[in-house]
């Protein structure tokens, strides 16, 4: 616990057998109270490796739900476990768990309800091997989003994120996509609701075993980002009423049920 708050790390996993142990071994025991891994029907033995490592709760989807769908399960299970602070940490070892303190303490101390580990602050992205076309696309999309959404974030596309319980329980996250654009829709909802987002410099590693979407999927994701940003601005102007920005009436995570897919 940190400042009396329960800290839960969630891992949305897909084919992470070869990198899971390295990620797990760097998670500080004195900071994190519980680890939850959700496997999205991996073709390798990610679940077996998670059980071998003794991860607190291991869940396997009966069918592939996509990256966004995986996160919905992660956050639901974290809330069911009584989490006050939830950190999404990819098990592919692209983001270092050694930064968990910097992600958690600003939330525990009431400075920010959301923290992002930014690869763009500093020179971590290119030094870590981010493909140049992805770096350029990241910078373009982030500038476009900052303009339309009135923010000043270094990037919107990091997969290293920490949230207060209030964020996860108050936003209509079930309205979001089950695909990769979920990440962007969630940040847009957070900004739309008026929450302040903090950032910390985060090194990153690109290597063969680290998960990364291909060029075609990147284009689809980029188009989705543009759509979300435009929808944000049109909703702010009252010209559009998108379901993802229906903060009061949109569907929230269902924390009244127990998971039916718990392996451990």
pLDDT of residue 163: 98
What is the arrangement of strands in the sheet containing 114-118, beginning at the earlier edge strand? 57-60, 34-39, 7-13, 85-88, 161-164, 114-118, 197-201
Question: What is the predicted pLDDT for the residue at 134?
Answer: 83
Domains, the chain, in order of start with CATH, read 7-245 (3.90.550.10)
Q: What is the pLDDT of residues 233-252, one digit of tens each?
A: 999 999 999 999 999 999 99
Write out pLDDT tens, residues 180-189. Answer: 999 999 999 9
* Residues recorded for the chain: 264
Q: Are 221 and 213 in contact (CB under 8 A)?
A: yes
Q: What's this model's pTM, rounded to 2 decimal places?
A: 0.93
Q: Which of 71, 86, 76 is nearest to 34 (CA)?
A: 86
What pLDDT sits at residue 195?
A: 98
Determine the pLDDT at residue 216: 82
What DSSP character marks residue 244? Answer: G
pLDDT score for 130: 80
pLDDT block averages, 10 residues each, the chain of length 264: 96 97 96 98 97 97 96 97 98 95 98 95 74 87 96 95 98 97 98 98 74 76 96 98 96 77 69
What's residue 132's pLDDT? 86
**Strand stretches in the chain, DSSP E:** 7-13, 34-39, 57-60, 85-88, 114-118, 161-164, 197-201
Contact 175, 243 (CB under 8 A): yes
């Amino acid at each position: 616990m940190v400042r009396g708050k329960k800290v839960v790390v969630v891992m949305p996993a897909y084919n992470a057998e070869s990198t899971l142990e390295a990620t797990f071994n760097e998670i500080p025991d004195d900071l994190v109270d519980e680890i939850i891994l959700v496997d999205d029907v991996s073709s390798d033995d990610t679940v077996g490796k998670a059980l071998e490592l003794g991860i607190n709760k291991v869940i396997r989807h009966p069918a592939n739900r996509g990256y966004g769908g995986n996160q919905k399960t992660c956050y639901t299970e974290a809330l069911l476990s009584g989490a006050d602070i939830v950190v999404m940490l990819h098990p592919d070892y692209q983001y270092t768990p050694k930064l968990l303190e910097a992600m958690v303490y600003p939330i525990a101390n009431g400075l920010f309800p959301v923290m992002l580990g930014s690869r763009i602050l500093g020179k971590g992205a290119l030094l870590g091997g981010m493909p140049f076309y992805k770096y350029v696309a990241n910078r373009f999309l982030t500038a476009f989003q900052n303009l339309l959404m009135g923010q000043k974030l270094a990037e919107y596309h990091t997969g290293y994120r920490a949230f207060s319980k209030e964020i996860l329980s108050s936003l209509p996250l079930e309205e979001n996509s089950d695909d990769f654009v979920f990440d962007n829709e969630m940040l847009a909802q957070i900004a739309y609701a008026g929450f302040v987002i903090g950032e910390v410099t985060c090194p990153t590693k690109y290597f063969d075993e680290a998960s990364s979407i291909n060029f075609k999927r990147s284009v689809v994701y980029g188009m989705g980002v543009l759509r979300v940003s435009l929808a944000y601005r049109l909703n702010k102007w009252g010209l559009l009423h998108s379901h993802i920005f229906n903060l009061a009436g949109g569907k929230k995570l269902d924390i009244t049920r127990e998971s039916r897919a718990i392996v451990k």
